[in-house]
Amino acid sequence: MASLKDMRVRIASTKATQKITKAMQMVAASKLRRAQTAAEAARPYAERMDAVISNIAGAAAGSGTAPLLLAGTGNDKVHLLLVCTGERGLSGAFNSSIVRLARERALSLMNQGKEVKFFCVGRKGYEQLRRQFDKQIVGHVELRSVKVLGYKNAEDIAKKVVAMFDGGEFDVCTLFYAHFKSVIAQVPTAQQIIPLVIEAKEAGGASSVYDYEPAEDEILADLLPRNLAIQIFRALLENNASFYGAQMSAMDNATRNAGDMIRKQTLIYNRTRQAMITKELIEIISGAEAI
């Protein structure tokens, strides 16, 4: 059994840990509001961009000159998985849930005879994926030095992905990230971004006819790379909000667990101390009676 001194040291250590987890919880809570606001503000813009491209793509469908980012290469042999995770841990299952979804997709594609490549955004996802797919990782970007996420960060990533696509390095690109729903709910999401998936319009809906100047394919050639950067930027913002929400929940649970551990350790310490005092009293009384 541990001595009383060891128990006191253990209790003090647990209290120090509880203070750290409580502080991290408060920091995550303060950053969550800003991150959530940014993620929610980006959603309407990204959705509207999709709607605009869908409208133009519908008009350009009959021309047969749609850009490859929309039409695709005609093959699906090589898949690029763009996996966006966090730079830090201590956030529960946030990073591992995204990596798990990407890993399951990769194994499924490989079982179908497809070639799979990874482009990792974030240190945690890269560290987990390289254990199993080290030779298949073709790109890695870390954002640890970035204090505030900006469109420029997503644009740089989009340029690298487009350059790989133009070089014929892959046929299909799928984006993986966590969609923020609430503090306790972050949904791992897979979204195909190359070639862009256009949602079919509802039958019977009113449709407007537009004349475009310049031609539709020229407009798409400019909008599609921009839309790719916007979708990546949205994913980064969703991930940022999801990370702070997951970290807030994880640190709250850690603080509660530390409190329970402190109470149990204190109870054991008091019982052990009481038993030692009782034992010493018995020894003193027994010695006095022997004299």
DSSP string, 190-223: EEEEETTPPPPPPTT--------SS-HHHHHHHH
Structural domain for 148, as ranges: 21-199+207-251
CATH code assigned at 268:
1.10.287.80
Task: Determine whether 13 is exposed, middle or buried from the number of CB atoms within 10 Å of its CB (0-12, 13-18, 19+).
Answer: exposed
Q: Out of 8-17, 193-202, 215-224, which region has the weakest mean confidence (pLDDT)?
A: 193-202
C-alpha–C-alpha distance, residues 203 and 58, integer Å: 14
* Number of domains comprising the chain: 2
Same domain (yes/no): 130, 81: yes
For residue 1, the model assigns a pLDDT of 61
**Burial classification of residue 113, based on how many CB atoms lie within 10 Å of its CB (0-12 exposed, 13-18 middle, 19 or more buried):** exposed
Q: Are 125 and 84 in contact (CB under 8 A)?
A: yes
pLDDT of 97 over the 90 cut = yes
- Average pLDDT score over residue span 155-166: 91
- Order of strands across the sheet with 78-84? 137-141, 115-121, 78-84, 172-182, 185-194
Mean pLDDT, the chain, rounded, equals 86
Neighbouring residues of 56: CB distance < 8 A, sequence distance ≥ 6: 212, 216, 219, 220, 223
In a domain, 50, yes or no: yes
- What pLDDT, on a 0 to 100 scale, did the predictor assign at position 258? 92
Higher-confidence position of 215 and 15: 15
Whether residue 290 is contained in a domain is answered as no
Q: Are residues 241 and 265 in the same domain?
A: no
Question: Which residue has tokens 């298949």?
Answer: 136
> 180 and 269 share a domain?
no
pTM of the model: 0.83
pLDDT of residue 144: 83
Q: What is the mean pLDDT of residues 133-144?
A: 90
Per-residue CA distances from 154 to 162, 189, 198 (Å): 12, 18, 22
Has residue 289 been placed in a domain? no
Owner of token pair 């996420």: 149
Residue 71, pLDDT score: 77
* Of 238, 237, 219, nearest in space to 227 by CA: 219
155: Cβ–Cβ under 8 A, 6 or more apart, which residues?
229, 233
In which band, very low, low, confident or very high, does the pLDDT at 75 lie, cut at 50, 70 and 90? confident
For position 203, what pLDDT does the model report?
Answer: 44
CA distance 270 to 4: 9
Question: Between vectors from CA 48 to CA 42 and to CA 49, what angle results, nearest 5°?
Answer: 90
Summarised one tens digit per residue, pLDDT across range 30-40 is 899 889 999 98
Q: Do 68 and 165 contact (CB within 8 A), yes or no?
A: yes
Q: 10 and 30, same structural domain? A: no
The answer to whether residue 96 sits within a structural domain is yes
Question: In DSSP terms, which residues pair with 81 in a beta bridge?
Answer: 118, 174
- What CATH number did the domain enclosing 220 receive? 3.40.1380.10
What is the arithmetic mean of pLDDT over 111-116?
93
Q: What pLDDT is stored for residue 284 in this prediction? A: 84
Q: Is residue 83 part of a domain?
A: yes
Same structural domain, 13 and 63: no
- 12 and 36 part of one domain: no
Are 141 and 87 contained in the same domain? yes
For residue 266, tell me if it sits in a domain.
Answer: yes
Is 74 domain-assigned?
yes
Using pLDDT thresholds of 50, 70 and 90, give the confidence band for residue 65.
low
Decide if 146 is inside a domain: yes
Which residues contact residue 75 at a Cβ distance below 8 angstroms, ignoring those fewer than 6 apart? 171
Average pLDDT over residues 276-289: 83
**Both 257 and 235 in a single domain?**
no
SS3 242: helix
Do 270 and 234 lie in one domain? The reply is no
Do 242 and 263 belong together in one domain? Answer: no
Distance CA(186)–CA(169), nearest Å, equals 32
* Highest mean pLDDT pick, 119-128, 138-147, 192-201: 119-128
**Which is higher by pLDDT, 107 or 196?**
107
189 and 278 share a domain?
no
pLDDT confidence of residue 205? 47
267 and 148 both lie in a single domain: no
CB-based burial label for 27 (10 Å; 0-12, 13-18, 19+): middle
For 248-274, write each residue's pLDDT tens digit.
999 999 999 999 999 999 999 899 888
Mean pLDDT, residues 192-217 taken together: 65
